[in-house]
């Protein structure tokens, strides 16, 4: 039988793409049919996403996917799934109109919002219910920051970004559960909205749409969407793991237990897949999160700043006329002196956009180290520091969840970075299986394929990824005690 086609729209912090995935009993392949920039827009008040441009990018991508899927032998396009980064949302009024442009999670308006929330629900209690790591941009803090705006009282429906786009494609209203679990308004144990928390914070629980799960049918295309894209109006939009990280974890090519994962893109999401949340006070203090994965699993992980550090440096170098070609920078970094300067990639000062090379230099100076003297040295500093953060996080997750970790799957765009993969293996002393780079899109496609009866359970999904996608194995080399010493240096600040 010929493979069946699924379109995955995957929106990342710097670009969006639509891929056509073809799935059969032994087939899983992706073709990117459209890629478009995701360029945040700074208005006088705040930093925003250009959500209409993103929606238009999805529409154009679907139109191309429709054409690519149609030629004989390539099968039909069975369904569409949408995923994006977490936490951000749009508000709809009583007529379904979007109230303002969604904010970017890197906007700094939430600076005082956590204190306002914690005054009503103390942080330990918030964690016992939601199990969510403290990040200043969690949806709950963004809503607190929206207090006093004209939009909040006018709002009738809160839709997370993938749910908003699904709404525009289909007219349906819902909240996908893996992404809902990143809001700080979701009960980790019960797997439902915490309407009680929501009401205590002074908001109307009616804002929160009914939950839906990966694999649920979300709707079919609105007539004008079908006309524009050239897809049949009966084409279904399938709810996927709409949080990109949940899709990526679903496609980790693990064939044995004992794995930790690093979903490495703009962020490094580092942790374990568990059956039940860990809501202990020790876990809260270590700032681990209990986000939902597919099939009721828990993504027990921590956010590490990730390739953002490198990408933001390159953006700044580029604007200053400093060469920012990645292969050349990585070659320089590989020749630079080991452990010359190290940073803590979890430090909050690295979160907002801006002059990253300068911030890294200041961080080094403040911690008594000589700042990197060249872009190559800066990249070395970033990659070694990320590898150390991967190591710390894998070890802490294993300790807090009482698990043995025997190997690490590193997926996402960062898996192309050979230096980072090798450093992660060296720092942890564990083998690193790197790839696939397109784990998120694969997870998106696989959840759709499963909903349409083409693949079996989670294990079979992962076996299919392992059997069809290229991965590369990095074995630890070099000197673990040097990494131990480097780790102690970062820990002592
Ligand atoms: C990665 C990601 C991550 C969230 C962040 C906002 O793209 O979804 O899991 O914490 O973006």
pLDDT tens digits, residue range 314-362? 999 999 999 999 999 999 999 999 999 999 999 999 999 999 999 999 9
Q: How far is the CA of 440 from the centre of ligand 1 (A)?
A: 12
Q: Whose C-alpha lies nearest to ligand 1, atom 4?
A: 86
- For residue 211, what pLDDT is reported? 98
Mutate to test the pocket of ligand 1, among 134, 135, 244 (most ligand atoms within 8 A of CB): 244
CA 383 from centroid of its chain's CA atoms: 19
Is residue 482 pLDDT above 70, yes or no? Answer: yes
What average pLDDT score do residues 372-378 get? 97
Distance CA 314, CA 70 (A): 40
Please tell me the pTM assigned to this model: 0.97
Percent of the chain exceeding pLDDT 90 equals: 96
Closest ligand 1 atom to residue 182 Cα is 10
Total Cβ atoms within 10 A of residue 228:
16
Percent of residues, the chain, with pLDDT higher than 70: 98
pLDDT score of 1 more than 90 = no
Q: How far is the CA of 348 from the centre of ligand 1 (A)?
A: 15
Query: Which tokens hold the place of 439?
Result: 């784990």
Q: Give me ligand 1 centre to Cα 223, in Å.
A: 32
Tokens of 376: 């190559």
Asked if the ipTM is above 0.90, the reply is yes
Alpha-carbon Rg for the chain in angstroms: 22
Could you tell me the pLDDT band of residue 72, with boundaries at 50, 70 and 90? Answer: very low
pLDDT at 323: 95
Bridge partners, residue 157, by sequence? 92
Does residue 68 surpass a pLDDT of 90? no
Residue of minimum CA distance from atom 1 in ligand 1? 85
pLDDT for 3? 78
Nearest to 62 by CA among 82, 44, 38: 82
Residue bearing the CA closest to ligand 1, atom 7: 85
CB atoms within 10 A of CB 74: 16
Q: Whose CA is nearest to atom 2 of ligand 1?
A: 85
- Per-residue confidence at 177, pLDDT binned at 50, 70, 90? very high
pLDDT band at residue 58, thresholds of 50, 70 and 90?
very high
Lining residues, ligand 1, CB within 6 Å = 85-87, 105, 243-245, 265-267, 269, 303
The number of the ligand 1 atom at minimal distance from the alpha carbon of 13 is 7
Closest ligand 1 atom, residue 86 Cα: 8
* Residue to substitute in 245, 247, 268, 306 for testing ligand 1 pocket (most ligand atoms within 8 angstroms of CB): 245
Ligand 1 centroid to residue 69 C-alpha, Å: 30
Each as own residue / partner, the long-range contacts of residues 222-225 (CB below 8 Å, 24 or more positions apart, any chain) are: 222/168, 222/169, 222/170, 222/171, 225/59, 225/168, 225/169, 225/170
Q: Is the pLDDT of residue 102 over 70?
A: yes
| pLDDT over 50 (residue 109) | yes
* CA 379 to ligand 1 centroid distance, Å: 22
Give 82 Cα–ligand 1 centroid separation in angstroms.
15
CA of 480 to the centre of ligand 1 (A): 30
Longest dimension (CA), the chain: 65
Q: Which atom of ligand 1 is nearest to the CA of 244?
A: 8
Which residue of 85, 302, 306, 350 sits with most ligand 1 atoms within 8 Å of its CB, as the best mutation to test the pocket? 85
How many Å apart are CA 452 and CA 78, to the nearest integer? 8
Q: Which residues contact 200 (CB under 8 A, 6 or more apart)?
A: 120, 121
**How many other CB atoms sit within 10 Å of the CB of residue 45?**
11
Confidence of residue 392 (pLDDT cuts 50, 70, 90): very high
Q: How far apart are CA 270 and CA 467, in angstroms?
A: 24
Task: Name the residues annotated as catalytic.
Answer: 244
């Amino acid at each position: 039988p010929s493979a069946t086609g699924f379109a995955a729209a995957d929106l990342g912090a710097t670009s969006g793409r639509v891929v056509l995935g073809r799935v059969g009993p032994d087939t899983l392949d992706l073709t990117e049919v459209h890629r478009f920039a995701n360029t945040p827009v700074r208005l006088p008040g705040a930093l925003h996403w250009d959500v209409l441009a993103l929606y238009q990018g999805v529409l154009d991508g679907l139109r191309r996917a429709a054409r690519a899927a149609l030629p004989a032998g390539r099968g039909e396009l069975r369904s569409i799934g949408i995923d994006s980064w977490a936490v951000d949302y749009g508000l709809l009024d009583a007529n379904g109109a979007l109230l303002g442009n969604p904010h970017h999670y890197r906007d700094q308006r939430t600076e005082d919002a956590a204190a306002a929330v914690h005054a009503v629900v103390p942080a330990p209690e918030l964690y016992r219910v939601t199990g969510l790591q403290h990040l200043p941009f969690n949806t709950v803090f963004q809503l607190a920051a929206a207090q006093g705006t004209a939009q909040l009282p006018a709002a009738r429906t809160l839709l997370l970004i993938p749910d908003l786009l699904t709404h525009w494609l289909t007219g349906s209203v819902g909240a996908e559960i893996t992404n809902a679990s990143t809001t700080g308004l979701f009960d980790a144990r019960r797997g439902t909205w915490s309407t009680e928390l929501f009401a205590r914070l002074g908001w109307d629980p009616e804002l929160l749409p009914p939950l839906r799960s990966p694999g649920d049918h979300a709707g079919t295309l609105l007539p004008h969407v079908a006309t524009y894209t050239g897809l049949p109006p009966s084409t279904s939009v399938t709810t996927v793991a709409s949080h990109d990280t949940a899709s990526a974890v679903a496609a980790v090519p693990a064939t044995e237990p004992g794995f930790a994962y690093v979903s490495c893109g703009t962020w490094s999401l580092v942790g374990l897949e568990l059956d039940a949340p860990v809501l202990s006070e020790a876990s809260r203090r270590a700032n681990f999160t209990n986000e939902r994965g597919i099939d009721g699993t828990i993504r027990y992980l921590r956010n590490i700043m990730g390739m953002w550090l490198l990408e933001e440096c390159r953006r700044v170098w580029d604007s200053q006329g400093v060469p920012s070609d990645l292969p050349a920078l990585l070659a320089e970094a590989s020749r630079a002196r080991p452990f010359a300067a190290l940073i803590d990639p979890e430090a909050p000062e690295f979160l907002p956009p801006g002059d990253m090379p300068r911030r890294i230099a200041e961080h080094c100076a403040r911690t008594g180290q000589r700042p990197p003297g060249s872009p190559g040295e800066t990249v070395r500093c970033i990659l070694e520091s990320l590898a150390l953060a991967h190591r710390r996080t894998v070890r802490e997750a294993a300790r807090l969840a009482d698990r043995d970790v025997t190997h690490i799957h590193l997926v996402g765009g960062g898996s192309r970075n050979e230096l980072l993969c090798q450093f992660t293996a060296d720092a942890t002393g564990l083998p690193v299986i790197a790839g696939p780079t397109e784990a998120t899109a694969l997870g998106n496609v696989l959840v759709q394929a499963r909903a349409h009866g083409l693949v079996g359970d989670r294990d079979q999904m992962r076996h299919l990824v392992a059997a069809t996608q290229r991965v590369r194995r990095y074995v630890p080399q070099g000197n673990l005690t040097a990494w131990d010493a480097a780790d102690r240096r970062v820990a002592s600040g």
